[in-house]
Structures are given as C-alpha cells and as structure tokens.
Structure 1
Amino acid sequence: MKNNLKIEVIISLVLVILTVLLLNPFHFWMPNMLHMIMIAFTLVILALFAVFFLREKIQDERDSVHRMLSGRVAFLTGSTLLTIGIVVQSFQDNVDVWLVVVLVAMVLSKLITRIYSDNRL
C-alpha cells in the first residue's frame, strides 16, 4: 500500500508540473515540437493516473472512507474553482464555454453515478 502511495504521488506531481508547463507561464516556447511532445506526455501521464485509480483495491472500511473523502474533496475543489472561473469571466463578459461544459459534466456524472449506485449496487 505504501508503494502505491509513492507511485500515486509521483504521477500526480508529474501531471501537475506538466499541466502548469503547458500553460507556458514564462513564455519559453511557441507551439513547436517540444510543446507537442509535452502535450502527448501529459496525456500519457493522465492515462496512468486514471489507470492507477481504476485498479485501486480497497482493503478495509478505512480505505473505503479515505477514498470517498478524497473523492468528495476533489469534486468540491474542482467545482468550486470552475464556478469561480465562470463568475470571474462573466464579470468580464467573456465566459469560456469549456468551463461550463466541464462543470456540467462533473455535476451530471456525479448525479448519474449516485442514482446508478443507489439502484444497482
């Protein structure tokens, strides 16, 4: 379990670093081959991140509670930040469609999963 935590932390940090670098905060590069390679590498790391969580095994009730808590915190953090982005951009009269699409997708997937798990599991 401790080894899986180390892998999870490493993959998470690499994913965060790559996505920040893709924003090009210091204007180091134009869209060139290096930038395209970074995008591809980010997609691969994101896939590894998703596979890690899909293959995660729950050992006992405590692990289940920790997993549920981290999911709730992640959902609330993501939805809060997306809502803040939508509000700020609405004051600037320039709401990015992707912010709304992602927020709606998060809320609907949460709702559908909840309904499915209540009725089927």
Structure 2
Amino acid sequence: MNNLLSFSIVGLMMVLLFTLTDPFMYWMPSATQMIALTIATALVCFWAGFIIREGAGDERETVLRMHAGRAAFLSGVIVLTLALVIQGLAHAIDPWIPAALAVMVFAKLSARWYSDRNS
C-alpha cells in the first residue's frame, strides 16, 4: 500500500472525526445520519488503527513500526493528559478521558511485563 493511500485514509478519518464532533455547530444531523456517520467513523478509525500497513517485514521495518507505535502512544498520552488538565481546571471532567488514559498506560505496562517475563 503506497503512502498516498495511507495519508488519504488518515485525511478521511480526520474529516469524519471533525464532522462527527461538529465543533462549530454548523449542522444538525438527524438521528439516522448521526448513527450512519458514527458507524462509518468507527469503521474507518478501526481500519486505520489496526489493519492498515500491518504486514510483516524485516528487522528494519519492525523497528520503524515500533518507533511509530511509540510516537503514537506518547502523542495519545500527551493529548489525553492535556485534556484532563484543561477539563479539570474547568471542573467538568469527561469520564472517558481518564478511562482512556488509564487503559493506555495499563496496556503498555502489561505488554512490557509480558515481554520481560517471556524473553
């Protein structure tokens, strides 16, 4: 899969996520439109996060994938921590933010523990 297709899929995912959140209250979708948009966004996010460019390769490709995964994890932690601080200062913390942050950190520690134990 070439890089143009990968970036196109990421661009589509960003447009769908932006449309789903509708930060400027530009449109008022019906319930059916919102469900369809949510399902389409979830499928694209799932495909972009789990399936795209996950083929096996040589050692160099494995190291590059590990670096990309680490950068993605750290970016997620930074964004969620920033959201937690901003919402904490506003006294309105969305429970999904600390839950997502806790799951990310727990998954990393569990994977680390498993790999240290089995290597």
Q: TM-score, normalised by structure 1?
A: 0.85
Structure 2 residues not aligned, in runs of 5+: none
1:3-22 to 2 correspondences below 5 Å: 3-22=1-20
Find the counterpart in structure 1 of residue 43 from structure 2.
44
1:1-121 to 2 correspondences below 5 Å: 3-32=1-30, 33-49=32-48, 50-52=50-52, 56-121=54-119
Report the Cα offset of residue 11 of structure 1. Answer: 2.2
Structure 1 residues not aligned, in runs of 5+: none
Cα distance in 1 between the residues matched to 2:42 and 2:106: 24
How big is each residue's C-alpha offset from its partner over 1:31-63, in whole Å with a ceiling of 9 and x where there is no partner? 41222211111112123222225xx22322211
Cα distance in 1 between the residues matched to 2:57 and 2:43: 28
Report the Cα offset of residue 119 of structure 1. Answer: 1.8
Cα distance in 1 between the residues matched to 2:27 and 2:76: 28
Identity of aligned residues (%): 32
Cα distance in 1 between the residues matched to 2:84 and 2:46: 27
Q: Which amino acid aligns with 2:94?
A: D
Do the aligned residues in 2 keep the contact of 1:29 with 1:35 (CA within 8 Å)?
Answer: no
Over the aligned positions, Cα root-mean-square deviation in angstroms equals: 1.7
Moved over 4 A (4+): none
How big is each residue's C-alpha offset from its partner over 1:50-94, in whole Å with a ceiling of 9 and x where there is no partner? 2225xx223222111110111111111110111111111111111
Cα distance in 1 between the residues matched to 2:81 and 2:60: 31
